[in-house]
Amino acid sequence: MKMKNILIGVSCALSLQLAAPASTNGGTPDLFAVRVGSAETITQGTIPHAVILIEHGKIVMIGQDLEIERGVPVFDRPDWVAIPGFVNCYSRAGMSSRGSSGTTPSVMASTELYPTEPIYSDLLDLGVTTLGLYPPGNGIPGQAVAIRTRGDSAAEMILDDGVYLKMLMRSNASSKKMIRAAFGKADKHGEDVEKAREKWEKDVEKWEKDEKKRKDKEKKDKEDGKAVADKDDEDKGPGDFVEPTPDGTASAFLGLRRKNLSAMISIRKAGDYLHLVDALGKEDFDWCLRVPLRTDIDLYEVKDQLGADNRKVILEPRLTLMAWTMRERNIPDELSGAGANVVFVPNGDDLESHKMWRFHVGHVVKRGMDYQAALRGMTLGPAEVLGLDERLGSLDAGKDANILFFSGDPLEAASQLEMVMIDGNFVSDEVVR
Amino acid sequence: MQLKKKQILTSTLAFASAVLLAAPIFSAPNYFEDDDAEEEPDTYLAVTGGDIYTGTGEVLRGATLLSKNGKIEEIGYNLYLPKDTEMLDAKGMRVYPGLVALSATTRLSQGTFAAGLDFHEFKPHDENEGICGDCGKDLEVIVPPALDPGEYSTEHIAVEGLKSDFDDSYDPYNGFLVMALGNGITTVQQSSTAIKLLRGRIDGVTMSDKTLTSFSWSGSNPAGKADLRDKFRAGNGYLVDYRRWEELVKKDKELKEPSKKGIDSRVLSVLEGRTMAKFNSNDAGDLLGIARLAQTNKFRPVIGGCVEGWIVAEELGRAGAYAIITPRTRLDRTENLAHETGSSIENAAILHKAGVQVAVVPANTSIDMGGTSGRDLLHLPIEAGFAVRGGLSDKAALEAITIVPARLLGIDHRVGTLEVGKDADLVLTDGDILHYQTFVQYTVVGGEQVYDKEEEVFYAHIRPRAEVAVDAGEEVAQKAPAAEDAE
């Protein structure tokens, strides 16, 4: 009852705009509702007979059998299943540059974004509404950018820049030294600031002394009847304290410590994880792991540690073999079961891999992974990696209306992706017509 | 009633104030303690009921070995076991010290890929898909490790414990490591470093570093031999001068220290006893030369190969030599020579009898199935078994793969035998460790069980352990007969 009242209230407030249901966006109205067979909300489970009210590109309300004010257009699709748009947080789609192997944390992937690349609209057609694009290279190559897969300019596409700092960690002395050295630079900057402040304080003291002397002299001169010195060359003093600007490395790693920035650390095997933890020591910052699922990877060896930390782990939806055997292992399932936050990326960066993405996830579910955890791994999980979980990744009031409509279970091979909606706009105007 | 209440109140107050007063006194030491100083509880492991072959000659039948925090706390009978002691039943099994493998493949500590090897993560859609099962998306090349030999000098040890490059590249989950543990090997030499095969942990890997210095001595290079002889002579000369100066400088402080100029630092490290000199030689004549060089210059040589050692065994014994031999090596005798030449299956036995400390290595110190099956590192105890075939005692054969290699690596104070105070690195077998049918059932490293045959994929299917059948009929008495000599 309460829900209904609110709904009416909202609708009334919007009735002015309703008078002219604008069709600025390819025929999709500004305020409308979609009634579907069910909705996978990710945060509140499955809602059967869900109605989603959308206004100005945002989800205003979602619930079971919501009554819709007369006059609000309703698209009735009882066969459809709605789920949030897919988010691929780890991609190089449409980018081609080659990186180096040094420590360049200030490099921004956003500078090589070409909005005209056709792959973005192709990915949108496949249901990928958000991408995290990372800079290439080894070592610490730079920071990633989060984009929507629609837009004519970089400004239009970029959701957020500097979403995570990419790092590579391997089991060797130089890799560990690299990370320690980068944090060392942040320490050094702290010392530099201290030194600069001390120097400034001394300068202020000295200036105040000089000023006093000058004033005394002026006073004396006046008493003596001498001409007053020209005031033009008056010393303005050292002014306010200005912190020295940190260099790229120091600023990025200070950002990590202050939690303005998170890190994505790529490792290759379970042993790397132990060395990473060793290299990080007591550093406290937000980091997630990227682990390419090699056929015989031994990541299951550290699943308890990853689970205990509720660590975000980015990997492909893939079944692997237990090292040295032909025994099948379902690492996504094992990690998820242990408590880790499994985030999926397609098996590759090409279109075909994105097309097969949901089927591959389905395969991992078939072999035991929790269905909801798997869907989360394609939506809210990657949105969290990008720090955009307030805006994206689930069907909740207030979030961006990035919604996919399937003819059935999204992970089922026979299901069709019937329609893609990004920011409240249907990608094709088929529905509207 | 009222009064009683008041009393209680006062006494409570008194107590509270007492606590308040006491609090600063009790908490004061905390100011001086590190945050990490919270003491970890002691961890105990008891290996019970096994026949303990200590490696020093004794066998304790049906005895118990207690490990505390990774060190051997006690070996004996009717031991007091603290609460929460982890138990490992060794009834019907033998307990040996963990084996020490010399010059082992670095695969053991690095996993599949050798350190410093460039490694690519292939693009999944490229044609290499089949090779690595499309490992990743981007071309990521491993950063090669900085192998700076001078990086960890011995001065570091006092400050941060011994470290080597192997600490930062150790893979505690790799399959080679598990296979080695499954064949009883718990300590290995990796280049010039001795490391402990820890599983699932990366702290405390390195045990010693740079204990052997290699020299060349070959009959085909007479100039090289003369040069080495001169270097040793000069080195000894310097040491004599230095010791004399040490005495004289007490009286005359102005006296100059003898110059190290022209003195070979490697030779000096051997003469000062910081490292051992290692030679590789099989020829009897060369072995004789090495023995004489060592005797003249007063050091104990380590000789790898040593195939014709049995011919000059007496001389090698007098030189106090160590021999690292492969008993199965075959070398035909040279027919046109009048004196003895070629290999002998009795080599180890003869050398041992002459007083040479014999260590055994297999023909191939890698782990490999390609053509070397039966002769690779996993067959270390079998190789020692061949020395027994040639007449070496069981005891000396066990020493050849435990305490003698431990001495060569400078870690005999920690591993190589089962003695109180040493590391609790043990191997539990279902029979004589030198016998070809024997399987390692459990391996313990640093007081932690790291291998169980039935839990690992490698050998679980071969003669599975019948847990119930073991000693079902014959109860092994807890009070066993007194220790007896293994020989």
> Which DSSP string do the residues of B407-453 spell out, in sequence order?
HHTT-TTTSSS--TTSB--EEEESS-TTSTT--EEEEEETTEEEEEG
Cα B428 to Cα B51: distance, rounded to the nearest angstrom:
9
B241 and B280 both lie in a single domain: yes
Smallest CA–CA distance, residue A109 to chain B, in Å, is 15
Q: Which of A21, A83, A46 is nearest to A415 (CA)?
A: A83
> Nearest 5 degrees, angle CA A415-CA A420-CA A422?
150
Q: Taking the CA atoms of chain A, what radius of gyration do you get in angstroms?
A: 28
Indicate whether B317 belongs to any domain: yes
Closest-CA residue of chain B to A297: B135
Decide if B114 touches A, using CB distance below 8 A: no
B203 and B335 both lie in a single domain: no
Q: Identify the pLDDT of residue A233.
A: 58
For the domain with range A86-224+239-392, which CATH number is right: 3.40.980.10, 3.20.20.140, 3.40.50.1240, 3.40.630.30?
A: 3.20.20.140
Question: Rounded to the nearest 10 degrees, how much is the dihedral formed by the CA atoms of A135, A141, A146, A150?
Answer: -10
Subunit contact A348:B123, Cβ cutoff 8 A: yes
How many A×B Cβ pairs under 8 Å?
112
B154 and B223 both lie in a single domain: no
> Regarding beta strands A287-290 and A312-315, do their DSSP bridges make them parallel or antiparallel, or are they unpaired?
parallel
> Nearest 5 degrees, angle CA B234-CA B237-CA B238?
90
CB B219 within 8 A of CB B283: yes
Work out how many domains chain B is built from and give that number. Answer: 3
Lowest mean pLDDT among A137-141, B408-412, B430-434: A137-141
Residue of A179, A268, A321, A360 for testing the chain B interface, max B β-carbons within 10 Å: A268
B151 and B266 both lie in a single domain: no
B360 and B251 both lie in a single domain: yes
Between A192 and B23, residue with greater pLDDT: A192
Q: Nearest by CB to B140, which of A168, A174, A278?
A: A168
B104-130 confidence digits (pLDDT tens): 988 888 875 433 333 333 333 333 333
Smallest CA–CA distance, residue A346 to chain B, in Å, is 9
Q: Identify the pLDDT of residue A231.
A: 56
Q: Identify the pLDDT of residue B120.
A: 33
Q: Identify the pLDDT of residue B465.
A: 86
B438 and B391 both lie in a single domain: no
Subunit contact A172:B132, Cβ cutoff 8 A: no
Burial class for B56, CB neighbours closer than 10 Å (0-12, 13-18, 19+): middle
Which residues of chain B are within 8 Å of residue A353 when distances are taken between CB atoms? 124-125
Give chain B's length.
487
CA B379 to chain CA centroid, Å, is 17
Decide if B134 touches A, using CB distance below 8 A: yes
Other Cβ atoms less than 10 A from the Cβ of B61: the count is: 17
Indicate whether B227 belongs to any domain: yes
CB B22 within 8 A of CB B61: no
Indicate whether B401 belongs to any domain: yes
Decide if B169 touches A, using CB distance below 8 A: yes
Cα A289 to Cα A381: distance, rounded to the nearest angstrom:
13
Indicate whether B336 belongs to any domain: yes
Q: In terms of residue numbers, what domain contains B296?
A: 212-408
Q: Nearest by CB to A294, which of B135, B169, B458?
A: B135
Residue of B134, B195, B369 for testing the chain A interface, max A β-carbons within 10 Å: B134
Indicate whether B481 belongs to any domain: no
For residue B325, pLDDT beyond 90: yes
Calculate mean pLDDT across residues B196-224: 91
Subunit contact A274:B140, Cβ cutoff 8 A: no
Closest-CA residue of chain A to B121: A292
Closest-CA residue of chain B to A324: B175
Subunit contact B133:A139, Cβ cutoff 8 A: no
Q: What is the DSSP letter of B390?
A: T
For residue B2, pLDDT beyond 80: no
Could you tell me the CATH number of the domain that includes residue B221?
A: 3.20.20.140
Q: What is the DSSP letter of B32?
A: G
Lowest mean pLDDT among A132-146, B4-18, B393-407, B441-455: B4-18
Decide if B171 touches A, using CB distance below 8 A: yes
Cα B404 to Cα B395: distance, rounded to the nearest angstrom:
12
Cα A51 to Cα A42: distance, rounded to the nearest angstrom:
16
Q: Please list, in sequence order, all residues whose beta carbon lies within 8 angstroms of the beta carbon of residue B258, skipping any fewer than 6 positions away.
A: B238, B241, B242, B245
Q: Identify the pLDDT of residue A126.
A: 94
Q: Identify the pLDDT of residue B370.
A: 64
Q: Which of A398, A326, A340 is nearest to A369 (CA)?
A: A340
- Same topology between domain A1-85+394-433 and domain A86-224+239-392: no
CB B366 within 8 A of CB B372: yes
Q: How many secondary structure helices (H) and strands (E) does chain A include? A: 11, 18
Between B160 and A193, residue with greater pLDDT: A193
> Nearest 5 degrees, angle CA A303-CA A323-CA A372?
40
Q: Which residue has the tokens 């603290």?
A: B82
Which residues of chain B are within 8 Å of residue A296 when distances are taken between CB atoms? 133
A234-254 exposure pattern, b = at least 16 Cβ within 10 A, e = fewer: eeeebeeeeeeebeebbbbbb
Cα A126 to Cα A120: distance, rounded to the nearest angstrom:
10
Decide if B219 touches A, using CB distance below 8 A: no
B119 and B82 both lie in a single domain: no
Q: Identify the pLDDT of residue A29.
A: 83
Return the structure tokens found at B165.
Answer: 């490059």
Q: Identify the pLDDT of residue A432.
A: 54
Indicate whether B471 belongs to any domain: no
Name the phi and psi angles at A11, rounded to 5: -65, -40
Calculate mean pLDDT across residues B21-47: 62
Task: Say if the ipTM goes beyond 0.90.
Answer: no
Calculate mean pLDDT across residues B459-487: 56
CATH of domain A1-85+394-433: 2.30.40.10
Cα A340 to Cα A311: distance, rounded to the nearest angstrom:
5
Q: Please report, for residues B109, B136, B139, B318, the alpha-carbon distance to residue B128 in angstroms, rounded to integers and kept in the order given.
A: 27, 11, 12, 59
Lowest mean pLDDT among A387-391, B41-45, B67-71, B160-164: B160-164
B139 and B89 both lie in a single domain: no
Domain locations in chain A as residue ranges: 1-85+394-433, 86-224+239-392
CA A306 to chain CA centroid, Å, is 20
Cα A312 to Cα B372: distance, rounded to the nearest angstrom:
44
Smallest CA–CA distance, residue B121 to chain A, in Å, is 8
CB A432 within 8 A of CB A426: yes
For residue B218, pLDDT beyond 80: yes
Calculate mean pLDDT across residues B419-425: 97
Residue of B137, B167, B174, B457 for testing the chain A interface, max A β-carbons within 10 Å: B137
Subunit contact A268:B168, Cβ cutoff 8 A: no
- Ramachandran region, residue B300 (left: φ > 0; alpha: ψ -120 to 50; beta: rest): beta
Examine the fold and report which residue of B377, B408, B439 is the final residue of a domain before the chain moves on. B408
B348 and B377 both lie in a single domain: yes
Return the structure tokens found at A249.
Answer: 């490395």
pLDDT digit of tens for each residue in chain A (433 aa)?
Answer: 444 444 444 444 444 343 334 444 456 788 999 999 999 999 999 999 999 999 999 999 999 999 988 889 999 999 999 999 999 999 999 998 887 778 899 999 999 999 989 999 999 999 999 999 999 988 899 999 999 999 999 999 999 999 999 999 988 888 999 999 999 999 999 899 999 999 999 989 988 888 888 888 888 888 877 765 555 556 677 788 888 888 888 999 999 999 999 999 999 999 999 999 999 999 999 999 999 998 889 999 999 999 999 999 999 999 999 877 888 999 999 999 999 999 999 999 999 999 999 999 999 999 999 999 999 999 999 999 999 999 999 999 999 999 999 999 999 999 999 999 999 999 876 655 4
B310 and B202 both lie in a single domain: no
Subunit contact B143:A278, Cβ cutoff 8 A: no
Other Cβ atoms less than 10 A from the Cβ of B15: the count is: 10
Residue type (1 letter), B288: L
Indicate whether B480 belongs to any domain: no
Subunit contact A353:B141, Cβ cutoff 8 A: no
B243 and B351 both lie in a single domain: yes
Return the structure tokens found at A421.
Answer: 């909606």
A281-338 confidence digits (pLDDT tens): 999 999 999 999 988 899 999 999 999 999 999 999 999 998 778 889 999 999 999 9
Return the structure tokens found at B153.
Answer: 């000098």
Q: Which of A365, A353, A379 is nearest to A411 (CA)?
A: A365
Subunit contact B140:A266, Cβ cutoff 8 A: yes
B400 and B345 both lie in a single domain: yes
Name the phi and psi angles at A337, rounded to 5: -60, -35
Subunit contact B202:A274, Cβ cutoff 8 A: yes
Name the phi and psi angles at A49, rounded to 5: 45, 55
Cα B33 to Cα B49: distance, rounded to the nearest angstrom:
42
Return the structure tokens found at B94.
Answer: 């033998």
Q: Identify the pLDDT of residue B486.
A: 43
Q: Identify the pLDDT of residue B364.
A: 87
Indicate whether B484 belongs to any domain: no
Burial class for B419, CB neighbours closer than 10 Å (0-12, 13-18, 19+): middle
Cα B292 to Cα B315: distance, rounded to the nearest angstrom:
8
Q: What is the DSSP letter of A64?
A: E
| A interface with B, Cβ–Cβ below 8 Å | 90-92, 101, 136, 138-139, 168, 170-178, 266, 268-271, 274-275, 278, 292-296, 298, 301, 320, 322-325, 327, 345, 347-350, 352-353
Name the phi and psi angles at B287, rounded to 5: -60, -40
For residue B358, pLDDT beyond 80: yes
CB A51 within 8 A of CB A43: no
Q: Identify the pLDDT of residue B63.
A: 97
pTM, full prediction: 0.80
